[in-house]
A and B are shown apart, each in its own frame.
Chain A
Amino acid sequence: MSDRTLVQAVRDALYEEMERDDRVCVLGQDVGLKGGVFKATEGLQQRFGAQRVLDMPLAESSIAAVAQGLALEGLLPVAEMQFADYSYPAFNQIVNEIAKVRYRSNGDFSCPLVIRAPTGGGVRGALYHSQSPEAFYCHVPGLKVVLPSTPADAKGLLKAAIRDPDPVIFLEPKKLYRAERQDVADGEAAVRPLGSATVVREGVDLTAVTYGYMRAVTAQAAARLGQDGIEVEVIDLRTLRPWDIETCVRSIEKTGRVAVVYEANRTGGFGAEIAAELAERCFASLDAPVSRIASPDVPAMPFSPSLEHAFMLNPDKVADGLRRVARY
């Protein structure tokens, strides 16, 4: 066990997987001697060399395309997009190429790779270093999408993603990179399977389904409601595609109420999909409409602290939303 922040846990996962399997390689902008702008690849090039830890030109489409080429030749690349906001120039490579390789070749080819990207806001990153684009990728059959919220989950899920036979988009909430430390297991004991949610807090009155940075925010909001005698069950999905519907359904059958809390814009966010699915699956158990608690539909998060604050969900806003569902 080691005491680790989330970004250190990411780095450990990369280090351990590169030690374990020499097919694993890392590529991206500034991933080499600099160790990445968030230090997620720190020390990897010194340990594994400039071939397996490859500094890429500032061109996201070719980062994804080169990773794909390496994967087609039997390597296990982990590509870093410096910010999730900057994955869009690679969108065609990810969505039309990587995601569809297996399907369009009728199973003759596969493309096992991981694309890592820091996601989300709350760090004064403004419009282009704060976006939460997970819904774009969750919409695409052929991709898996992971969005962890603790150091142990980040490490365990990244190790599983690297070993997965399909392409995985691995989004890391940058606000949590250094927010907390946690004891994290080493080696095989650290691996956590994709597609499994975790119940963060148990409760009988209301279910809150969330992921990423909103896990911590929702847990704080739930603690406040707890003081008023409203017990909220908080579920962290951890993996968004495939997502653990059954854990959510079981919870709602107990509570009869559900809110989905997500940091992305409300309209068309992945939380909307969760809400729709749960409404369909749990209709007979529900005592209140399925509710979404999400960020406003403005293009992205502004730079000014007052505007950033106005954009971001916080425990107050989430607690208000949860109370509305509890009182319905």
Chain B
Amino acid sequence: MSPDVAPLTRERVLDAYRTVLRARALDDRRFVLNRAGKLAFIISPRGHEVAQVAAITALDPSRDRFCLYYRNFAAALACGFTPEELMLAAFARAADPSSGGRQTPGNFGSRRRGVIIGSSTVGPQIPKAAGIGLALKWRGEGSLCYVSFGEGATSQGDFHEGLNFAAIHQCPVIFFCENNHWAISVPQRLQVAGPGVAERAAAYGIPGVRVRGDDFFAVHQAVQEAAVRARSGEGPTLIEAEVLRLQSHSTDDDQRAYRDAAELAAEAARDPIPRMREALTKRGWLNDEADAALREEVNREVERATDAAEASPDPDPSTLGRHVYADV
């Protein structure tokens, strides 16, 4: 293991767990606010939180780049966005640090945090990350670019173009596929030919890893190994984290219309958050009392973030035409 990999201490894992809890609590609140007519549109990370936070925890936000996609709410928190900032985005307020209320809330961006501004189309960040990886390789400072996407995005030509280019030039890129087996209503069997996404790495001559997305330590280890390879000039890795989509695609979707009720109930029972809590409890890092205290603290954060964001002003209509060009 390379000396610059931070060890996974109890403190860091508990911090990651707190981020997971924050993501869930904030998301629950966003759904309530959506149903109350206060938020127009939300894409939930429910079921993906543990995988997202485990992956980011294995990286270095002070020097790495992150090309996130619209379901990466928990990943954004792990990259340093605060609950209040994410609530500002949900309310489309002027102070939303990603876009000043211009984009739907899943498009995260912050230059100072290395989070490259996303868009709502599916997959274009994949070859973009390869280009960022090429620049980082040229710079030679051991930074890497992490790019995430769902299994639906792997059907896009940009998935192939990005992996092909990154593999040709051995760019320091981690391709992180969060496979929840559903692209809105289209199941994996109608989306992905062959056994899965990870196997496609073989065609590019790069490592392909499949990992259980509800296992914090397994995801962390897979991403950490990919990071060591990337930083030492051994090129990209494709990771497929198998996760559950415990919520509909978005607030405008209702997956009960196209998914089997028994399957949904079975998946709800496999929520990755209790599993992470059990893993931490087994290690003696967490007990019921500490867990309850954490949740209480997180709920207070959600209250404060919601109140602050709701009270924050909307963008001034006169700013509509700003930032089209450098001089406008």
Contact = CB atoms under 8 A, between A and B. Distances in A.
A105 B157 contact: no
Counting chain B residues whose Cβ lies within 8 A of the other chain, the interface size class is: 35 or more
B135 A75 contact: yes
6 contacts: A65-B161, A69-B127, A69-B134, A70-B135, A97-B124, A165-B325
A142 to B, nearest CB: 6
A66 B323 contact: no
Interface in B120-154: 121, 124, 126-136, 138-139, 145
A104 B132 contact: no
Given A73-B136, A97-B124, A141-B324, A61 B157 contact: yes
A57 B127 CA distance: 12
A165 B324 CA distance: 11
B127 to A, nearest CB: 3
Interface string B39-80: 000000000000000000000000000000000000000000
Interface in A74-117: 74-75, 89, 92-93, 96-97, 100-110
Interface stretch (B15-23, B27-35, B95-103): B95-103
B117 A109 contact: yes
A70 B127 CA distance: 11
Contact of B99 (A92, A97, A104, A166): A104
Counting chain A residues whose Cβ lies within 8 A of the other chain, the interface size class is: 35 or more
Interface in B143-174: 145, 157-158, 161-162, 164-165, 168
Nearest to B107: A104
Interface stretch (B108-116, B262-270, B275-283, B301-309): B108-116
Contacts of A104: 99, 102-103, 107, 109, 117, 119
A55 B138 CA distance: 16
Given A97-B119, A106-B100, A70 B322 contact: no
B124 A57 contact: no
Q: Give 7 nearest A-B pairs by CB, closest first.
A: A69-B131, A73-B135, A66-B131, A106-B100, A65-B127, A62-B161, A165-B326
Contacts of A74: 135
Contacts of A105: 98-99, 109, 111, 117, 323
A100 B111 CA distance: 15
Contacts of B126: 65
A110 B326 contact: yes
Contacts of A24: none
A144 B324 CA distance: 11
A105 B162 CA distance: 23
Nearest to A65: B127
Contacts of B145: 69
Contact of A69 (B110, B117, B129, B323): B129
B323 A103 contact: yes
Chief secondary structure at chain A's binding surface: helix
A252 to B, nearest CB: 27
B111 A109 contact: yes
A69 B130 contact: yes
A97 B116 CA distance: 11
A68 interface: yes
Given A57-B164, A75-B135, A108 B124 contact: no
Interface in A227-268: none
Nearest to A167: B325
A144 B328 CA distance: 13
A107 B102 contact: no
A97 B157 CA distance: 16
Contact of A66 (B111, B136, B157, B165): B165
Given A74-B135, A97-B128, A103 B324 contact: yes
Contact of B325 (A72, A73, A89, A166): A166
